[in-house]
Amino acid sequence: MTAPAVHASGLVKRYGDFTAVAGLDLEIGRGEFFGLLGPNGAGKSTSIHMLSSLVQPSEGVASVCGIDTRVDPVAVRQRIGLVFQDSALDRQLSVWENLRFSGLLYDLPLPETRERAEHLIRLFGLEEKRDKPVGSLSGGQRRALDIARGVLHRPEVLFLDEPTIGLDLPSRRRIWRFIAQLRAETGMTVLLTTHYLEEAADCDRVAFIRGGRIVLSGEPAALVGDLGDDIVEVSADQPDAVRAELEAVLGPARVEFETLSFRPPQHDAARLAALTESLGARIRSVVVRRPNLNDVFLWVNQ
């Protein structure tokens, strides 16, 4: 029996009167791809900093591969890779020099660093930038290099704090491909935070964090499945005027600006068509679609 890759029980972090994390319980198995989801300021980064031994919890215990972050922070840091939300790269050094520097910090012999760095540079498509200063890289390339830096020492657990934040869509897709390739190659455990919920659909498990605690967790497919078959979105100029009528048929509504969202208890196209008919011009549109993780998040916050 081996210890879980990441374990946290009752983790609390307070800064003065402000509670950033309010009792986090987490257990992530070896090789698992885990998503910690939530809005900005929910406590995701602080949680990661505590799990990676950089920030002391005010209460609770965190461990990585069975090693308590307080008892042996150095052994924890040896086994993890951390890609911070903000770059950790040295802009004055080149791509290769950054990886070389990082390799030396992990006490890797130079030939080994070179071999691994060249592999990662190829994997992440940075060959042409190898000897260019980091300052000349695009945002997506810089993030890719930051991830390469985070995995150069072959960590057992990789923490990715908002790896795609601020990137355009093609760059985001590339970053996801890199992460998938790394996981396929090494089988490492990955703990990811993001607020782009659609990106977490590939995770084995996700947990929604809000106000510094986990409010819901499970497999993405199961969580989405729990919402039912359909999400019905009705938009109207005066949503309040039609709300009661719609709720009578479709169940409780979630209101967002001029749109009412519903999770009808069963799929019933005929009934919905009749309802649309009777409301006539009082509504503008009716959309029926499959639920996704965003809906899970929105309904859990209802």
Q: Which residues bind another protein (CB under 8 A)?
A: 2, 13-18, 20, 29-33, 41, 43, 45-46, 49, 52-58, 65-66, 73-75, 77-80, 82, 84, 86-93, 97, 101-102, 104-108, 149, 156, 183-184, 187-189, 202-205, 219-221
DSSP string across 206-269: EEEEETTEEEEEE-HHHHHHHT-S-EEEEE-SSHHHHHHHHHHHH-SEEEETTEEEE--SS--H
Instruction: Starting at the earlier edge strand, list the strands of the sheet with 285-289.
Output: 253-256, 259-262, 231-235, 285-289
Alpha carbon distance 53, 62 (integer Å): 8
Task: CB nearer to another protein: give 3 or 274.
Answer: 3
Task: CB nearer to another protein: give 23 or 31.
Answer: 31
Q: Give the bridge partners for 194, in sequence order.
A: 37
What are the tokens at 229? 């078959």
Minimum distance, C-beta of residue 223 to another protein, in the bound complex (Å): 12
Task: CB nearer to another protein: give 219 or 256.
Answer: 219
How many residues belong to the chain?
A: 302
Task: CB nearer to another protein: give 90 or 233.
Answer: 90
Minimum distance, C-beta of residue 137 to another protein, in the bound complex (Å): 15
Task: CB nearer to another protein: give 105 or 287.
Answer: 105
Which of 94, 100, 99, 13 has its CA nearest to residue 55?
Answer: 13
Alpha carbon distance 134, 139 (integer Å): 10
Minimum distance, C-beta of residue 187 to another protein, in the bound complex (Å): 4
